[in-house]
Structure formats: structure tokens, C-alpha cells
Amino acid sequence: MSQLIARDLIEILKKNGFVFDRQNGSHWIFENSDMGASVTVPIHGRNNPIFKGTLASIIAQSKLPKEKFFKK
């Protein structure tokens, strides 16, 4: 699994129906009411890579296929 930066991750979520709901400190929460999914994205610098374990958790929470997050 390759790494993504927060800015790119947010862009992917938005393209797939997620909208910004609220902020809790340095974490942004995105919701997709159609899928019943809520995702928390750490914003510790928009150009910093998201750790692999955190990214795997975000992908699972999003209920989107893993392929949506990585270019072929």
C-alpha cells in the first residue's frame, strides 16, 4: 500500500460523495449519508503522508473499494 497525503485523500473522499461535517482539533470528519459512512482524516500538515495503518483504517471506514485510493 503506497502513501497518500491528506490533501489527496480529502480530494478522493469528496469525489466519492463525502462532505466535510466538522473538525475536532487537527482532525477533519467527513460524512457520506448515502453510504452511512463517517471518516476522520488527520490534518497534521496537508502535505504530510498519512501513516499506512491510519490509511488502511480510513479506507475501511469509508466503505469504498481500495482501488479508489490508488492509481494504477
- Please give the Cα distance from 50 to 53 (Å, whole number): 8
Instruction: Give the structural domain span for 41.
Output: 6-64
pLDDT at position 1? 59
Mean model confidence pLDDT for the chain: 91
Whether residue 72 lies inside any domain: the answer is: no
Whether residue 46 lies inside any domain: the answer is: yes
Whether residue 70 lies inside any domain: the answer is: no
Q: Which helix (H) or strand (E) holds 45?
A: none
pLDDT at position 44? 85
Whether residue 45 lies inside any domain: the answer is: yes
Task: Give long-range contacts, CB 8 A cutoff, 24+ apart: 36-40.
Answer: 36/63, 37/61, 37/62, 37/63, 39/13
pLDDT tens string 3-58: 889 999 999 999 999 999 999 999 999 999 999 999 999 998 778 899 999 999 99
CATH of the domain at 27: 3.30.920.30
Whether residue 69 lies inside any domain: the answer is: no
13 contacts 39 by C-beta, under 8 angstroms? yes
Name the domain count of the chain. Answer: 1
1 contacts 60 by C-beta, under 8 angstroms? no
